[in-house]
Structure 1
Amino acid sequence: MPYTRDDYLNETFLKDLVEFNLLGYYEKIRNMLINTPSNELINKDIRKYCLKEFDRLNLLDEIKKEHPQSMNAAINCLIHNLNEDEINKIYELGVENYPSSVHFSLGIWIRNEFGLNLKINSKLVYDCYHSKYNEKEWKIFALSIPDTQSSIILEELCEYVCENYDEVKNINFTHKIDKRKYRLDDYDIL
């Protein structure tokens, strides 16, 4: 089914963008469609038009399999790579407070290590878009802003840890995440 210019964010188009790992470029696609004269788009398959244009610009990415490809995989990766103290902190602070307390440490790690800053993980971004923590009035930001995406992942992590704390605290943690590598001191923020 061909798309219309107004369909750039419909569910079918989103799934196509995920399949071709182009979700990180949806803003460019949107702008490309809006700035293309209507007569150039008449009777064209917009998806093919976008893919040809992105191929011409060398923007077609390869999905990097080392990045978690779903919200469940991201949560599993985080839980196994954190330490017991951090899991306890998540449980104590909960969804309301934990994500904001680690935005400039674990949040940065997530954005860098899960391919969110490079916009190369469309499948995980798609899960962020559909998360219950993605607020309706800000829903669009989950498609393009890595800070929003990492916050949603952290909220999902908190919910999972809080609901499954007895099970999670008994995991053999690998302690692979060094949050100090990304930690900012107060003077770095000023």
Structure 2
Amino acid sequence: MDRIDALRLFCSVAELESFTKAAEREAMTPGAASKQITALEQRLQARLFERTTRSVRLTDAGEALLDRVRPWLDEYDGLEQGVADARSAPAGVLRVAAPVDFGARRLLPIVTRFMNEWPGVEVRLSFADRMVDLVNEGFDVGVRIGNLPDSALIAKRLAAACMTAVASPDYL
């Protein structure tokens, strides 16, 4: 058990005034909870609880620690939740490069649906009929049509493209 978990257990014991109830809340045995609090007391070199067979009460040192730890744990829990929330919903800027015709005909409807589903993502489209340098020009995604040269980039085939040569009868 790490120090944050030990402090969380300390707060539970103080709130519930019971090692047994706190251990149940923290999913451990009462004996393990008692050992963790004893280890915390040894690390802090202070007795945190007055224990009897019928009750558990905070000492002055325990009261002082609780006053300082409770707001800090609330802040820490908020920080953890914020990180988890940030990871669960995509957000930021997504730069996409694509050929002009493909981008206008095929990509725009897909990107519009994507932006409606993930409003935290700002999509910046760049349509050009040249082979853009994705890395040096700062693109996250690039759509290519045709064979790709060897590179360290990760490529995924989206669809097969059928090429047909056509000409007017007068030209032929």
Q: TM-score range by the shorter chain?
A: under 0.3
The TM-score, its normalising length taken from structure 2, stands at 0.24
Higher helix share: 1
Greater RCO (Cα-Cα under 8 Å, separation 6 or more): 1
Larger radius of gyration: 2
The TM-score, its normalising length taken from structure 1, stands at 0.23
